[in-house]
A = this chain, B = another copy of it.
Amino acid sequence: MTSTSSTLVLDPDSARQGYDRAETVRVAVLGVGMMGQDHARRLATLTAGAELVAVSDVDVARTDAVAKEFGVRAIHDPKAAITDPEVDALVIATPGFTHEELVLLALDAGKPVLCEKPLTTSAQTSRRIVEKEAELGRRLVQVGFMRRFDAGYQQLRALIASGEYGAPLFLHCAHRNATTPPNFNSEQLMLDSVVHEVDATRFLTGEEIVAIRVIAPRSSTQAPEGLRDPQFVIMETESGVLVDVEIFVNTTFGYEVRTELVAEKGQARIGQHEGIVTQSAAGWGGSIAKDFKERFGAAYDIEFQRWIDAVRDGSNVDGPGVWDGYAAAAVCEAGVRSLHTGERVEIDLGPRP
Residues in A lying within 8 Å of B, measured CB to CB? 16, 19-20, 41, 44-50, 69-71, 151-152, 155-156, 159, 164-167, 169-170, 172, 174, 215, 217-218, 220-222, 230, 232, 234, 236, 239-242, 244, 246, 248, 251-254, 256, 262, 264-270, 272-288, 298, 305, 309
- Can you name 27 A-B pairs with beta carbons within 8 Å? A16-B41, A19-B44, A19-B70, A46-B48, A47-B48, A48-B49, A151-B275, A152-B275, A164-B280, A169-B218, A169-B220, A217-B242, A218-B241, A222-B265, A232-B242, A244-B244, A256-B279, A266-B279, A267-B278, A268-B276, A270-B276, A270-B277, A272-B277, A282-B283, A282-B285, A284-B287, A285-B286
In Å, the complex CA distance between A244 and B239 comes to 22
How many copies the complex holds: the figure is 4
Closest Cβ neighbor of A18 among chain B residues: B71
In Å, the complex CA distance between A279 and B239 comes to 23
The winner among A215, A222, A277, A305 for most chain B CB atoms within 10 A is A277
Shortest CB distance A267–B (Å): 4
Shortest CB distance A275–B (Å): 6
Residue pair A277, B287 in contact (C-beta under 8 Å): no
Select A221's contact among B44, B167, B230, beta carbons within 8 Å.
B167
